[in-house]
Structures are given as C-alpha cells and as structure tokens.
Structure 1
C-alpha cells in the first residue's frame, strides 16, 4: 500500500508468519480472519485493513501496531545541508540542516530541521589485541558527535555561525519545522534511515576537516541525537555507532533494525523456552495440539 509519493506503508505479516512457521490456513482458523484476507495481507496486495483485523493479529503474535505496520521513507527524500558559514574547525560546533521532501496530493514541499553538531575527539589508542605483530602499529581513534535540535526562536543567536544566504532561503520558503513536526518525523523513521542521515553528516565533516581516514587508522564514531523527551525516553533509537577506515564510513547499526536477525535465529533454534518468550501464543497452540494427539 502506497501513500504520499514514494513513501511506503508496509504490513509485516509475512515476517511473523514465516518466522512462526504457521500456515495461512491455520492462522485463519485460529484468528477467525478469512483466508483470502490473510493471503492478500501476507502478499502485500491488501488495499485496506480493518482495525479489528489489526488488533487480532497484534494480539495473536503478541506485538505492537508499530511492529506489524511500518512506514518506509526512501533515502532520496532527505538531503544534508551545511549551514555553518565559516570553514570547519574540529574544535567548534557545526550548524547543519536535514532537508525532507514531503509529497502530499501530488504537491511537494521541502521542510528543514536544524541541528547543532557538537564534536568531541577522544584520545587515541593502539589496536594490538588479536592482531599479529606486523599490524601492531594500527591506531584507533574515537570521535563523538551530539546533534541537538535548534528552536526557531534561537536561530538568530547563531547568526555569526550560519550561512545567512542559505538560512534566508529556508526562511522565505517557510521550510523550518517546529519541534513537534521534527519529533513526529524522526519518530516515524526507521533506525537504518537515521543511521544513513548520520553517515552523511560524518562524511561531510570528515571531507571538510583535517581528519585523514587512512588505512592505518580506524575511527570509532558515535552519534547521539537530542530530541528532548523523545530521545531521553528512547536513547537506544537515537544512539548510533560507525566505523571509519581506508576512506570509508560504515554504519554498525543493523540495516533491518535487528528484527530480521532475531527471527533468522528463531528459524534455527527449536528451544521451547526461546519460542515461548518470543511467541507465547504459538507455544500455547503447540501445547493444545500435543494434548489433542
């Protein structure tokens, strides 16, 4: 099901059905949902789903609605904007913008959230453990970034550090998002997409600074997004780790948000305790089947 241009609303029934190794026919008998309805949802062909159907599926698989339904926004919807007016200095904060392209009823709008990027360089250390003697000179360096959202009213306080021509264009076109809009957008993003946006910020920072990502140095990079109460209550969603070496920046966060990896493990683990923890309803079903034999 598609809504809003290239944004994709996905019902993840296939993920849970396949992981649980239950047939559509069996699921239909247990839940009371018709087989054609489940088949269409499973194959991604359903054009609409009733609330009671969603409630039944969430109850059966013991999951939340946000796990059953996800919204995928393609990376091309986002663009990184460097707003700092002066040349990058690794000892100073940077001002950046995250531009989001939103399409609604065939009308495209551009929205921008502005962040202060605080940079911290941690002491270097040598990587010797697990390496042979020829590589004992490999250096490991740590970089830490904190991205804090800037209130519209506070932007004027940063006027000496912001490229005013770019900021003027953003203001004239009324592109600045308020805090509620920014939090709403970022709450809807998959962690893999936020990791991608953070990666763009890191790559820009490195390419415009005196940091040299060579083959002899490995950088461990951490980004923490500060979105007020939202990030304080869900710190794991807004904490990202990267590795940089040989001119590359690699995200260490699972592109699938970790859930596919969890269920891949479940395919290979037949332990009843593990299955009961992950799918309590299926364990009860299995018990009933066993008793009925």
Structure 2
C-alpha cells in the first residue's frame, strides 16, 4: 500500500561521508569513509558527496580526501561529488577524479567570513573562476547556497538574496543549484517560496535541497520540496552531520527516515531503506554514539 503519489522518482544524494562527518568529535580514517561509501553504493545510492577539499587544519575530519577518492568503488551510474571553496580545492578535486564539483556560497557575509574566510562577494568571484575552470575540464559544477533559510549571526536571510545568488549560478552554467538550510530553521512555507524564486532565477539548473532537522522541520521541508518539483534531496545515513562554524547546528535529515517517508508516499528512489538503516547504525558504532535516525530503532512498516 502507498499513501499517495507525489511523483514517480526522486534522487537522494548521500552526504554522510562529507557533511555527516565534518562536525563529529571523532575523525574517521579514509578506510572507514571508503567503507561507508561502499555500503551506500551497495544499497543503491547513485549520487554521493564523498569528500571535501578544504584545509585539513580547519576541518580535520576531511583530511585524506585524495585517499578516499582513490579507494571509492567505480560503479557505472554512480557519481561522486567533491566540495571545493577555492581554486586550490578545485585543482585537488580534478586531480582526484571527482564526477561533480560542488561549490558552497554562503548567503550572509558574517557566516561566509567565519565559514570560508571571505565575504559573499569574494566567494562569488571565486565561484565564477571555479565554474569556468571546471567546465573547461569537462566536469559539471553546481552551487550550494548555504544559510539560504537563515543565518546564525545575521538572522533572516532575505529571499531576494537567494534569487540573486541563483542568477549568478545560472550565469556561470551551474548544472544544479542547491538551497541549504544549514542551521535547520526553515519551514515549508519558505521551501515553497524559495523554490519558486530559484526556479525563476535559474531555469536551466536542476534544483536540490539540503535540510537539517535541528528544529524538527527537516522532513516536512523535504516533502514540500518534492511537491515543488525538487530534483534531488540531500540526506545523511544515520542522521549525522552539522557545521563546525555554525553554533548549535545539528544533524542532516537521516537518509533512512527520508526513504521511509518517500517510499510510503509513493516516491521511488532505487535505494534499499533497510540497508541504509543498517549503515546508519554501523556508522554510530564507529563514531561511538547512537545514530539520531529513528528508522533503525522502530523498523519499517509493514514489517
């Protein structure tokens, strides 16, 4: 039985190996991160944010990105994304053989300076250079607009700002624009509004959403995004995640919990929900803490 039919298929991008781990007190080895990616691939995940090419002194959990990329399983139809913030990161990503480049542009200056050491305007200049170079290398590049729903330092993010950034992404040929609720303050009404603004500003780009469940609105936001026609939803196995530069930022929406909601709503993903739930529990043992996800505790329905 399915409760209703929203759309036939939604792609889930697994961000656990990057966003899921970057804020954890315990840093996992490249081998453990490769094992996490292998489990996700075996479960049917076909897009994975595998690594972040940032300074390991600032984010030690992401050290060894090249080693991780060297060890990931190369399976037909599986695409690996690498996060980059500057030209140096792009060069490392291209040398490592990523399939996609993801560039984060923060919508507020204060958060951008704390997170990346540059203003939003400076990051946009870097974005233009990164996008041009990625295109020259034949690698698709997308923009993630961070703090799209609110900033921990400046408060509300003006929706007009999101449209402006989406237009810059479109102008540089982004294949995808992601709206990220980095600190988990968004609600469905914002999802509807920002979705429509972003689609108008960047009609050629696919729309992706990245939600955190800090205030227990992440799953409602995700279903609203599907209703609005979002092509891709980010999620993290086990529900781990957070930003080391955002106060009180908690985990991403859990992949297994998202899959339960989507599958029961008649939305196919091609991913084995039970296998991801097992992966979330396994990841919790590596991190020495229980996974925030609920499906691993309650199980699916019907049993």
TM-score (structure 1 length as normaliser):
0.29
- Bigger Rg, structure 1 or 2: 1
TM-score, scaled relative to structure 2: 0.28
More relative contact order in 1 or in 2 (CA 8 Å, sep 6+)?
2
Q: Which has the higher strand share?
A: 1
